[in-house]
Chain A
Amino acid sequence: MDADRHEITVSVNGIHYTRHIESRLLLSDFLRHDLGLAGTHVGCEHGVCGACTVLLDGQPVRSCLMLAVQAKGHEISTVEGLAGKDGAYHPLQQAMHDHHGLQCGYCTPGILMTMTAFLDENASPSEDEIREALSGNLCRCTGYQNIVDAVMTAAMRMRG
């Protein structure tokens, strides 16, 4: 079978990219290999671990469970777009740093994308709500407590 190729234009972190890709290319691999945005990590590649979470039109989704060709015309946000142009951390990145919310860091980009979208919708979350929102992201280092603390702190700081 000849490779089934399509031209797509996708906005990633506000920049438009046009690429000619094979239809079976996953969005996660497109970001990492075609665009060189390796901040999106791939763990299980079947939708369990959450490491590859990106925002699709503002909503967290698994980029390993989407074809790149499906992102045509949509807006994707990845961890590379979180910090300010001056390099200043997003409040959640800063809080994760302050609370030691990461050790090996493999799951961190997925957690950041999941929880920044969560905080946009819920400015004053309870600890239970944070744990529920985190349920789709596996972390094997931290035991989650420091991540929960970081999200609580980020929420407080973002409320001002």
Chain B
Amino acid sequence: MTLPASAMKPAPFKYIAATSLAHALALKAQHGDDAKFLAGGQSLIPAMNFRLARPAVLIDINAIEGLAGVRSHAGAVGIGPLTRYRALQRDEALTKLYPLIGEALPHIAHPQIRNRGTIGGNLSHADPASELPAIAIALRGRFRVQAAKRERWVEAKDFFAGALTTDLQPDEMLVELELPSPKPRTGSCFMEIARRRGDFAIAGVAAMVTLDERDACAEVRLALCGVDETPVDASSAADGLIGQNLSEQALSEQALSEQAIREVAACLQKMIAPAGNVHATADYQRHVAGVLAERALSTACQRVQDGR
């Protein structure tokens, strides 16, 4: 009674359940671009069901011990590649430390997808509309990348080469996302617009603002998703804010800071090249990105003062 082969969705492949990271990397070294790692499968399996992806070999990494979980290092947090979104969502210590992650997670697909989808799979897939790549950039994250006989670190901002294209070589796996500890007096905000809940972003903005002890703006991080071929680091759009007084009083007097934030958004709009799609024209995406950047920056400033 089994399904006839002619009715099966994916093209044939050889399935291998890797038993260790070394095993998985040895297989990838052997098969190169003909092989794909299978983590959560929430992007890869749909592509295979459509036969847009036809890997000859699937290396399932789900049974490998030690690839999932969150570890604290000195001054940083390391997140394993097999960590599922749902596990992050349930990790209150992590989402408190990095509110950007907690705020973005509800925008990432749906509960059923978050139960399976992994952060390593997401980052390696490099969908331009995806939230986590932009957040990794905003947080100044870096990735540990491993092959059978070597290892290297890549800054998140240098990792994404194009739509669905990364710096990963055919024999490499992303084995850790490392996030530096947030600086004191930092406020952050993630905002996204999509046509439907959980759908691909028309535009998404991650903003982080850090103040010094005299309430002067010390650093701004701004990263966007869904508005270009890769996530965009637009932090330099906010160079004009550095050194400005963003105290509660300055914010309540509004005029200066509102104007300054509007200028950041206008500058950011020139840094992106949205493609437009059936849901939104490129002009609309650029408009939304600017509006979200203004709102996210204002909210992040307010949150520094509120202490969150």
Contact = CB atoms under 8 A, between A and B. Distances in A.
Interface of A: 1, 3-4, 6, 21-26, 29, 33-34, 36, 45-47, 50, 53, 56, 59-62, 64-67, 69-70, 72, 114, 118, 132-133, 135-136
Given A24-B10, A24-B13, A61-B115, 13 more contacts: A22-B5, A22-B8, A23-B58, A25-B2, A25-B3, A29-B7, A29-B8, A62-B112, A64-B9, A64-B45, A65-B46, A132-B106, A136-B110
A47 B46 contact: yes
B112 A60 contact: yes
A24 B111 contact: no
Contacts of B106: 132
Contacts of A24: 8-13, 15, 48
Given A23-B58, A50-B112, A29 B42 contact: no
Interface centre among B11, B62, B116 (most CB of A within 10 A): B116
Contacts of A34: 1-3
Interface residues of B, number: 37
Nearest to B42: A65
Contact of B14 (A4, A29, A66, A133): A4
A3 B86 contact: no
Nearest to B1: A33
B113 A135 contact: no
A-B pairs with the 3 shortest C-beta distances? A136-B110, A23-B15, A46-B46
B8 A6 contact: no
Nearest to B48: A24
Contacts of B42: 47, 62, 65
A1 B34 CA distance: 14
Contacts of B58: 23, 67
Contacts of A70: 38, 41, 60, 62
A155 B203 CA distance: 36
B198 interface: yes
Contacts of A4: 12-15
A61 B113 CA distance: 7
Contacts of B48: 24
Given A24-B11, A33-B2, A59-B86, A66 B41 contact: yes
25 contacts: A3-B12, A4-B12, A23-B14, A23-B15, A23-B58, A26-B45, A34-B1, A34-B3, A46-B49, A46-B50, A47-B46, A50-B112, A53-B112, A60-B112, A60-B115, A65-B41, A67-B15, A67-B45, A70-B62, A132-B197, A135-B110, A135-B111, A135-B197, A135-B198, A136-B109
B116 A61 contact: yes
Contacts of B15: 4, 6, 23-24, 67, 69
Contacts of B1: 33-34, 36
A34 B1 CA distance: 6
A60 B84 CA distance: 13
A108 to B, nearest CB: 15
Interface centre among B41, B50, B62 (most CB of A within 10 A): B41
A69 B110 CA distance: 24
Nearest to A29: B3
